[in-house]
Amino acid sequence: MKATSEELAIFVAVVESRSFSRAAERLGQANSAISRSVKKLEMKLGVNLINRTTRQLSLTEEGERYFRRVQIILQEMAAAETEIMETRNTPRGLLRIDAATPVILHFLMPLIKPFRERYPEVTLSLASSETFINLI
C-alpha cells in the first residue's frame, strides 16, 4: 500500500513542528489523528520514522532520509499546482476587435499597450471598418 499525499504532509508537519500536538494545531486536526496517520505511514513503509518519548521526538536514520525526499516531493507538488493554477487563470489566445476607425483611434489605442503588458499571451487582432457587421 502506498503513502498518500496527506500522510506525507502530516509527517513533514510533525517533523518541522518537532511535535505531534503542534503539527495537529498547525493542520487543524486532532492529536490522535496526526499520531494515527504517522503510525499508518510507518506501517506501510515497514520502518519506524520517528523515535517517540514523552518529552521529545527525533527522527530515525530512515526517517531522516525519508523526510528529505518527501519534503522535496511536496515542494514539487505545490509548485506544479501553482503552475497549473497560474496557467488556468492567465488569459491567452486571439482577441479580435472589429470597430469603427474613430473608436479604435480614440478609445482602444490608449489601452492597447497596458493591455499587452498585463496579458502578454493574448494576441490582438484589430480591424477597422466603416461597414456594419452582423454579429449574429
Can you give the pTM of this predicted structure? 0.64
Report pLDDT for 89.
77
* Residue 18 belongs to domain spanning: 5-88
Domain harbouring 102, CATH code = 3.40.190.10
Residue 134 counted as domain residue: no
CA 48 to chain centre: 30
Q: Which amino acid is at 25?
A: E
Residue 47 domain-assigned (yes or no): yes
Total domain count, the chain: 2
Within a domain: residue 133? no
Mean pLDDT for all residues in the chain: 90
- Assess if residue 135 is contained within a domain: no
Residue 48, class by beta-carbon neighbours within 10 Å (0-12 exposed, 13-18 middle, 19+ buried)? middle
Residue 103 and residue 76 share a domain: no
The tens digit of pLDDT for each residue in 38-95 reads 999 999 999 999 998 878 899 999 999 999 999 999 999 999 998 888 777 788 889 9
Mean pLDDT for the stretch of residues 11-20? 94
